[in-house]
Structure 1
């Protein structure tokens, strides 16, 4: 094994103050250590914050077009390294090659998008009620911000936080998730090659319990953008509020797809199956509940089980339909929920077991899982599982289906499959979800549209992506001029 990858602080690749490291194993083969990273301490995080704070005023004065040029060049460099980034993402996180390729392309597109936005970032002119007075606004950077990102989209989510933060003129410290920090490291290599000034963007790797605290509490941090679990995000939000810092947190989901009698059943099965089992169910927007009208419930259960059983499961580099869980802990959590569902009285229709035969023996593989006869009070219908487990719930009517869809503490993404325009519009009006779709899977987002959730899926403060992503990273100053 080669030396541990270093952190990026003040424009240099540096080692941590501690001697400890983090081993990253291949989710498809736990015996293979694919990389080793620095396990940073609180003092390392503080060093990165100080570097970002020192670069803050200088970067804020760089023109929008020049910031945009650096972002555009970053995207171009990343594009030229697509094969490397895809291979790294698959080996560290476990996604299939196709899923990883799509994610890397999304990161490229995000940098291209915000490169253009950086050129246009400014204020607006307003009419003044007084004579000889002009009235306008300016958008100014917050200052230095902390970005805490998850393992399940280890290059796309850092990109959609980093790019708008830099476009708006902020300096940043990023803490990627310890399970898959490699794609973020590659992103920082691209930023450095593109000419990002020293100290503007910094990366520290390590445990959230050690590194995360100073990133939230340090007096130089003006804002925190977090993606991860609801419990951690809520704690971060409380701390940030106490310190009067701006907070943006995208958290958990328990996303429903409603299937109505007018739907084409084959299409409904494809939509639900793709949303439930794509990315191994390791997405905050994954379809966790299929709420199906009683008129086609039995037939839907039969066909979605057939769909699950038809999927190939294997190492991501082989590009199967579904790859492994990212870690042994995530696999164990999914298997525990399978046991919970069975004990609660739900019917395990298919899947639910670890796959450990042949080439899968040393990986974190699980069979795509379908439960039927699920009621809304069961834990498998209420709690985020973060694995390829679908609960199929029977609804007696459209109104009943919407009530069931809303009967959780989360509200991130939801969809309906129907050929009724009236049902579609009523669903969009009534569903309690930050993202609502008609005849589409719950996963999949446009990079130029706002993204965020309701209820416990979000802090309900600022949305991510598109213009909303810039809103979080800027403050508005109102300017009056008398002449």
Structure 2
């Protein structure tokens, strides 16, 4: 890659030192709304660099695990304060780096701070259990302890909040971390690391490695010193990581989704349109919980579809820093190519493209990865666009005749991350909750979004289904249990 001399160079963090790659290679972080805007250059780390990061984390673990929970908690709280103080600048950078709307970027920084505070509090009461014994002289209890070195590998769509919900519980529980962010959003990830480091983390406790996954993945997935891998990304990448991990390495995989919203005949149509627009086109459709299928009762299909089209037409598309913009660009050229290819495939398979799917190229869109939100009508569950994760602003609208048929269609995919039902009927809602194959189930809510204090994860190929993220449950993945028996003399 040609070096751009007037662009700032950032470094990675290994063993408390900000370092370049041993290969002296760099890559750029580029604004997807305006590709002439380069946010910075980052080290393209190699295998040896990643091994050094694991070495540092392994060495730091002995002391960090003995650090009191109160001390660990105070560092997380201080880091949260720094995120709050730097929120405006970080949100602007996040918007430029990922293409997110400024308001959403600002909320993400705030959510990340809240996540740090949540785990700072939870670790002060997270402990084992005591057990009754028939032996009157015995005292039996379980003791939770940290695992060791944890590899944190994260995507670009939520480049601060997803790392926060993995790194915060890992550190709170006494583990050390090697953090590999997506190469599309290294600056936002770096800002989180800076806050944690500035808050007082000892050297080696958190190590930050940037660059191509192919260059560093072996060190982060096959080294037996890595006791846990927490990953969010595509199902294909997650399965590859899971297959390489050692027998003694835990894996936590939050993967793809093909999330349905079901509209019943008694549902509020205006609400259903609003939920579809927010769930399907928020973050330009690049959320793992995004709405990609709308399964509609045939009796209200002809009334719902024009309302959805009109709402999509009214959306303002542009740079997320501009006032009034409701949908930004796709994150990179690869995402743009993928979305456009699925739109062409949908046409070939016989779905009706009733709105959108246009690649915007002129004027203000000339230097960005922009498409108009796409709506396919009269889709069927057998079509590829209704089965595969597109990860873009493309919605398939599927007509059905009953809730049972809707559930059959909704469940007829390999994924099971999130699902929603729009209805006024509590009995239909209860049936939906029981029968839908999804880890996150919602009624009269968008498929997107989850609380920081509630468990999050999917079923089927959306997750390894072993450990959930978020909430108090999120701490379980980062600890192991010893059962202790004390007896009398």
Task: Find the counterpart in structure 2 of residue 309 from structure 1.
Answer: 313
- 1:424 aligns with 429
How much has 1:244 moved relative to structure 2? 2.8
Aligned to 1:63: 68
Task: Please say which of residues 205-214 and 168-177 is displaced more in the overlay.
Answer: 205-214
CA distance in 2, matches of 1:73, 1:129: 46
Question: 1:32: Cα distance to partner?
Answer: 2.1
Q: 2:33 aligns with which of 22, 28, 31?
A: 28
Distance in 2, matches of 1:215 and 1:157, equals 18
Residue 4 of structure 1, CA deviation: 1.9
Which residue number corresponds to residue 269 of structure 1? 273
CA–CA distance in structure 1, aligned partners of residues 303 and 217 of structure 2: 48
User: Is the 2:97–2:187 Cα contact (8 Å) retained in structure 1?
Assistant: yes
Quote the offset at 1:3 in angstroms: 4.0
> Which one of 123, 127, 132 corresponds to residue 127 of structure 1?
132
In the alignment, is residue 19 of structure 1 matched against residue 19 of structure 2?
A: no
TM superposition shift of 1:120: 1.4
Partner of residue 483, structure 2 = 478
Q: Provide the C-alpha distance between the structure 2 equivalents of 1:311 and 1:357, rounded to a whole number of angstroms.
A: 18
SS of residue in 1 equivalent to 2:37: strand
* Preserved contact between residue 254 and residue 408 of structure 1 (Cα < 8 Å): yes
Distance in 2, matches of 1:237 and 1:220, equals: 16
Contact 1:137 1:479 (C-alpha < 8 Å) held by counterparts: yes
The Cα shift of 1:383 comes to: 0.3
Distance 1:31 1:71 in 2: 36
Is residue 31–residue 362 contact of structure 1 (8 Å, CA) maintained in 2? yes
Query: Which consecutive unaligned segments of at least 5 residues does structure 2 have?
Result: 1-5
Count of paired positions: 482
| 1:224 is aligned to 2:224 | no
Distance in 1 between residues matched to 2:423 and 2:8, nearest whole Å: 55
User: Pairwise mapping of residues 356-435 of structure 1 onto structure 2 (< 5 A)?
Assistant: 356-435=361-440
Deviation at 1:31? 2.0
Residues 29 and 187 in structure 2, CA contact (< 8 A), matched pair in contact too = no
Q: Bigger CA drift: 413-422 or 460-469?
A: 460-469
Please tell me whether residue 292 in structure 1 is matched to residue 285 in structure 2.
Answer: no
1:211-256 Cα deviation digits (max 9, x unpaired): 112101112111100000000101111111x443101000000000
Q: Deviations over 1:295-348 (max 9, x none)?
A: 011111111111111111100111410110110110111011100000100000
Report the Cα distance in structure 2 between the residues aligned to 1:219 and 1:406, rounded to whole angstroms: 37
TM-score, normalised with respect to structure 2: 0.97
Alpha-carbon shift at residue 459 of structure 1 (Å): 1.1
CA distance in 1, matches of 2:69, 2:347: 56
3-state secondary structure, aligned to 1:24: strand
Contact 2:297 2:399 in 1 (8 A): yes
| 1:245 is the counterpart of 2:253 | no
In the alignment, the residues of structure 2 paired with residue 432 and residue 255 of structure 1 have an alpha-carbon distance, to the nearest angstrom, of 10
For the Cα contact (< 8 Å) 1:234–1:459, is it kept in 2? no
Q: RMSD across aligned C-alpha pairs, in angstroms?
A: 0.9
Question: Is the 1:64–1:121 Cα contact (8 Å) retained in structure 2?
Answer: no
Q: Does 1:283 align with 2:265?
A: no
SS of equivalent to 2:59: helix
Q: 2:199 aligns with which of 175, 194, 212?
A: 194
Is the partner of 1:315 in helix, strand or coil? coil
- The alignment partner of 2:200 has SS state of coil
Aligned to 1:208: 213
Distance 1:476 1:46 in 2: 28
Q: Deviations over 1:101-121 (max 9, x none)?
A: 111111010001001012112
How far apart are the structure 1 equivalents of 2:260 and 2:42?
37
